[in-house]
Amino acid sequence: IFENATPVKVQGGSLRTFSFPSPVVEAVQVSMRTEGRPLNANVDLWQGPDNTPQKMGVYIEDAKLTPFNAVIATPRGQNTIAIRNTAQMEFPLNAAIAPNTATANDIEELARNIEPVTIQGGALKTYSFAPSVSSVQVLLVTDGRPLNARLELLQG
């Protein structure tokens, strides 16, 4: 995404918002990285004035080595993505946000091509990967209920 969208520097302790007023935009891609420093940020999706924002906390030890990328569904138009760099001023981050070209059909196809795993509240599920794996995709879906999940990538 950094090749297609102009990155914006978000200084530590500051907030940047990105609005998508068009109802045609059904998903946005969010990418954040640093110059080898820790990344500590909150990503919020605001959908209209009377909606509780959807929140995501992100912490990465070295966001140059492992940048953060996510596709966030933005249904029903007029959405705003807010990125708050919760790190100290010495730890700026670069963020790039753009409408996602993947359609709902692409996401549904991804969901059909894998065997879904139901993880009940409070449960822990771990997956191991070979050292040759350079990236993974995680698709989190609920049946309409609120989602509260923690994803951790551990090396070693």
Digit-coded pLDDT (tens) for 38-88 = 999 999 999 877 788 889 999 999 999 999 999 888 877 789 999 999 999
What is the C-alpha to C-alpha distance for residues 27 and 102, in angstroms, rounded to an integer? Answer: 8
3-class DSSP assignment, residue 102: coil
Domain count, the chain: 1
Average pLDDT over residues 13-39: 91
Classify residue 38: in a domain, yes or no. Answer: yes
Classify residue 72: in a domain, yes or no. Answer: yes
Average pLDDT over residues 18-29: 87
Classify residue 131: in a domain, yes or no. Answer: no
What is the C-alpha to C-alpha distance for residues 3 and 127, in angstroms, rounded to an integer? Answer: 31
Say which residue, 142 or 1, is predicted with more confidence.
Answer: 142
Classify residue 55: in a domain, yes or no. Answer: yes
Classify residue 148: in a domain, yes or no. Answer: no
pLDDT at 113: 82
Question: Could you tell me the residue range of the domain that residue 76 belongs to?
Answer: 8-101
Give the other-Cβ count within 10 Å of 108's Cβ.
10
pLDDT bucket at 135, cuts 50 / 70 / 90: confident
Please check the confidence at residue 36 and state whether its pLDDT lies above 90. yes
What is the C-alpha to C-alpha distance for residues 87 and 103, in angstroms, rounded to an integer? Answer: 33
**Mean of all residue pLDDT scores within the chain:** 87
Classify residue 56: in a domain, yes or no. Answer: yes
Classify residue 65: in a domain, yes or no. Answer: yes
pLDDT at 87: 94
Please check the confidence at residue 109 and state whether its pLDDT lies above 80. no
3-class DSSP assignment, residue 112: helix
Enumerate the H helices of the chain as residue ranges. Answer: 104-113
Classify residue 127: in a domain, yes or no. Answer: no
Q: What percent of the chain has pLDDT over 90?
A: 46
Give the Cα-Cα-Cα angle 151, 17, 23 (nearest 5 degrees).
90
CATH code of the domain in which 27 resides: 2.60.120.680
pLDDT at 103: 63
pLDDT at 7: 92
